[in-house]
């Protein structure tokens, strides 16, 4: 088992050709980055000899889960004792654990050892005490990969192991672990490494490796790594390898190496969108595309700039966030002051929708260009109505008016209408609902006022008006509690369409020119029309089965089965 982990051996630390992620792996608690609280807690518990049966470490990749597990194994078995743990010159136990060849420290990859038989072998092995060290330790990486039966087989040993046996688990997906396992472990949630700490660390590493890298390039590496030390070191290694002798890695070169693009290009793109400079917008996007930037990456960075535009007044350049430099921060702040928040929220929703559409489009490059063009139309339409929005008028009314006052290609109109409906639907209130019903009646070509006296009348009108979906909901999923003048009280089942009440209110106003109150009741109400029909059908079936005619049929055809009965309306008799 230990052969799997040979790549982590400090033998390679002396090898200058080894990758940085292995060369600079922490070997003691003091070497850990960004995990001071966890390290201090574990070290104190070891000194106080309050050692749990099992440790459980969870967090994203590259934050130190397996590394801490090995450091704990060394601390428990160090020949110099916990008070004088090996730092430079290692004892035989610490050296063997570091080299992953200690006979009493077993490292197991649960991704390849998932079955109950593997756990049984492990339990059998645990019955024997340590050969040379003080503790026998099992380190299980990616423990969430184990099967349910394997976890069950491990429970009893995990709860009451021998004094010499300790478990250390590591996982990136804590939710996949059974609660029964988690409750038997001392759990530590390892946070992402803060940007400033990670920046200082990789800067020291680049200096030790004698690589010339600008701070801006290092900050880009920190941003891409998303708090993972291993990712940051791997990216730095890749960058240093690409450098020629005596050359320096700057931001432009780093962006090309990692497939990123300058935020200033995206800010310039936004400025052109708000100025409706279509040709310039397309040119800027194509220059970004030619850098090899994927559409999904572009859209996610686009959303990031939208977030900054909306919330720039709450953000600060404090050294812990390397997403924006001082120049970009100032440009975004200036641009945000001239853009209305309503437009930014519409842009956000439109971009999210486009992220979904990208999956089904064959030519994503063309889809991105059309996305940017549609944004310019959406922005111009919204500009017609900013004054009305500020006067607390309905957003939906404002956008509709803009659509009426501006001639846009029908295809673009469909796109705008679609995104508008999705966005506005999330922020509607009662006043907007009223305006919608009023608007519907004035658009209707049929101005005849209908009279609806009963629930049955309502169903019949739905049928005559060809509102088939509404009719289906009334007949199948609605139970009437009471029906009075312009007031309907109902209960419903879980299959009722979520837009039913809004649609029914709109149609009632359109047909009767009056507002109706539709309220929901906790009472069960009457049976639905479909339920009544089903009961009547069953009664007729039972009655028919008892008839002499049916009995005679069975005498001739014993295997016959009566499945339906219909009344003959042309005859007076049954």
Instruction: Spell out the domain ranges in the chain.
Output: 2-189, 195-258, 263-428, 455-520, 530-574
Distance, CA of 63 to CA of 230 (rounded, Å): 7
Which residue from 401, 507, 379 is spatially nearest to 452, judged by alpha carbons? 507
263-428 CATH, one of 1.20.272.10, 1.10.357.10, 3.40.50.970, 3.60.15.10 = 1.20.272.10
C-alpha to C-alpha distance for 66 and 58, rounded to whole angstroms: 10
pLDDT of residue 165: 92
Low-confidence winner among 178-187, 242-251, 366-375 (lowest mean pLDDT):
242-251
Phi first, then psi, for residue 94 (nearest 5°) are -65, -40
The pLDDT > 90 percentage for the chain reads 12
Give the residue-averaged pLDDT of 118-136. Answer: 86
List 55's β-bridge partners, or say none: 168, 186
> 85 pLDDT exceeds 60?
yes
Per-residue tokens: 346: 């519409």
Please state, for a pLDDT cut of 70, what percent of the chain lies above it.
81
Stretch 382-396: mean pLDDT, rounded?
41
What integer best gives the mean pLDDT of the chain?
Answer: 78
Is the pLDDT at 308 greater than 60? The verdict is: yes
d(CA 333, CA 326): 11
pTM of the entire predicted model: 0.56
Beta bridge partners of 492: 478
Using DSSP, state whether 488 is helix, strand or coil.
Answer: strand
Give long-range contacts, CB 8 A cutoff, 24+ apart: 147-154. 147/114, 147/115, 147/116, 148/178, 149/115, 149/116, 150/114, 150/115, 150/116, 150/118, 150/119, 151/177, 151/178, 151/180, 151/181, 152/116, 153/116, 153/119, 153/120, 153/123, 154/119, 154/122, 154/123, 154/181
On whether the CB atoms of residues 417 and 403 are closer than 8 A, the answer is yes
| Phi/psi at 171 (5° precision) | -155, 150
At 322, the pLDDT band (50, 70, 90 cuts) reads low
> Per-residue pLDDT tens for 395-418?
444 434 444 444 444 444 455 455
Let me know: does 522 contact 501? Beta carbons within 8 Å. no
pLDDT of residue 128: 85
Angle at 199 between CA 195 and CA 200, to 5 degrees: 120
Query: Given this model, what pLDDT does residue 52 score?
Result: 92
* Range 284-289 average pLDDT: 88
Q: Give the pLDDT band (50/70/90) at residue 168.
A: very high
Q: What's the number of CA atoms in the CB half-sphere (13 Å) around residue 396?
A: 21
Q: What is the mean pLDDT of residues 427-440?
A: 44
**Residues 359, 361, 366, 371, CA torsion sign:** negative
User: Residue 412: what pLDDT?
Assistant: 47
Dihedral sign, Cα of residue 331, residue 334, residue 339, residue 345: positive
Average pLDDT over residues 268-276: 88
Query: In the structure encoding, which two tokens stand for residue 181, read together?
Result: 């396992």
Tokens 């340590």 belong to 130
In Å, the largest CA–CA distance within the chain is 108
Q: Are the CB atoms for 55 and 189 separated by under 8 Å?
A: no
**Please, which pLDDT band fits residue 69 given cuts at 50, 70 and 90?**
very high
Helix, strand, coil proportions of the chain in percent (round to 5)? 60, 10, 35
57: how many CB neighbours lie within 10 A of its CB?
Answer: 29
Token digits of residue 106 = 């077993």
For residue 16, the model assigns a pLDDT of 55
What CATH topology corresponds to 195-258?
Answer: Helicase, Ruva Protein; domain 3 (1.10.8)
Let me know: does 211 contact 243? Beta carbons within 8 Å: yes
Assess whether pLDDT exceeds 60 at residue 419.
no
Cβ count near 439 (within 10 Å): 15
Is 188's pLDDT higher than 90?
Answer: yes
Q: 344 and 306 in contact (C-beta within 8 Å)? A: yes
Give residue-wise pLDDT tens across range 353-362. 898 888 888 8
Residues 150/117, Cβ–Cβ less than 8 Å: no
Q: 2-189 has which CATH code? A: 3.40.50.300
Would you place residue 323 in the very low, low, confident or very high pLDDT band (cuts 50, 70, 90)?
A: low
Residues 6+ away with beta carbon under 8 Å from 370: none
């Amino acid at each position: 088992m230990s052969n799997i982990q040979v790549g982590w051996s400090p033998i390679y630390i002396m090898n200058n050709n080894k990758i940085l992620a292995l060369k600079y792996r922490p070997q003691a608690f003091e070497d850990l980055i960004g995990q001071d609280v966890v390290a201090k807690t574990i070290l104190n518990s070891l000194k106080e000899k309050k050692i749990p049966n099992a440790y459980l470490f969870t967090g994203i990749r590259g934050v130190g889960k397996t590394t801490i597990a090995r450091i704990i194994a060394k601390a428990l078995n160090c020949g110099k004792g916990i008070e004088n743990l090996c730092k430079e010159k290692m004892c035989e136990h610490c050296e063997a654990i570091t080299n992953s060849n200690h006979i009493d420290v077993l490292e197991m990859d649960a991704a390849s050892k998932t079955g109950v038989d593997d756990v049984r072998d492990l339990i059998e092995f645990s019955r024997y005490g340590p050969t040379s060290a003080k503790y026998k330790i099992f380190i299980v990486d990616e423990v969430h990969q184990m099967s349910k039966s394997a976890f069950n087989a491990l429970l009893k040993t995990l709860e009451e192991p021998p004094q010499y046996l300790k478990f250390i688990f590591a996982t990136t997906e804590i939710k996949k672990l059974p609660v029964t396992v988690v409750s038997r472990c001392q759990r530590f949630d390892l946070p992402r490494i803060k940007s400033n700490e990670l920046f200082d660390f990789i800067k020291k590493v680049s200096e030790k490796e004698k690589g010339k890298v600008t701070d801006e390039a290092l900050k880009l590496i920190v941003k891409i790594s998303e708090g993972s030390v291993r990712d940051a070191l791997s990216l730095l290694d890749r960058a240093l390898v690409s450098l020629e002798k005596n050359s320096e890695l700057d931001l432009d070169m780093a962006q090309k190496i990692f497939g990123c693009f300058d935020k200033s290009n995206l800010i310039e793109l936004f400025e052109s969108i708000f100025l409706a400079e279509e040709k310039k917008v397309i040119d800027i996007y194509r220059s970004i595309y030619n850098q090899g930037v994927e559409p999904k990456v572009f859209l996610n960075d686009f959303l990031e700039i939208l977030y900054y535009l909306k919330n720039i007044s709450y953000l600060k350049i404090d050294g812990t966030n390397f997403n924006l430099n001082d120049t970009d921060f100032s440009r975004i702040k200036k641009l945000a002051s001239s853009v209305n928040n309503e437009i930014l929220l519409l842009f956000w929703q439109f971009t999210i929708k486009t992220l979904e559409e990208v999956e089904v489009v064959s030519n994503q490059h063309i889809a991105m260009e059309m996305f940017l063009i549609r944004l310019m139309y959406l922005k111009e339409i919204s500009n017609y109505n900013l004054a009305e929005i500020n006067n607390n008028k309905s957003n939906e009314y404002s956008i509709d008016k803009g659509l009426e006052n501006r001639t846009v290609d029908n295809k673009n109109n469909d796109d705008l209408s679609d995104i508008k409906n999705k966005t506005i639907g999330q922020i509607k209130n009662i006043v907007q609902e009223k305006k919608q019903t009023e608007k519907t009646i004035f658009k209707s070509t049929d101005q005849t006022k209908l009279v609806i006296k009963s629930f049955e009348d309502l169903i019949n009108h739905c049928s005559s008006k060809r509102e088939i979906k509404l009719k289906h909901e009334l007949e199948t999923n609605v139970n009437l509690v009471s029906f009075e003048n312009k007031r309907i009280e109902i209960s419903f089942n879980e299959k009722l369409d979520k837009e039913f009440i809004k649609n029914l209110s709109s149609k009632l106003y359109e047909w009767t020119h009056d507002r109706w109150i539709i309220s929901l009741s906790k009472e069960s109400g009457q049976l639905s029309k479909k339920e009544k029909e089903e009961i009547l059908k069953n009664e007729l079936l039972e009655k028919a089965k008892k008839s002499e005619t049916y009995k005679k049929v069975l005498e001739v055809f014993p295997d016959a089965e009566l499945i339906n009965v219909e009344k003959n309306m042309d005859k007076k008799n049954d």
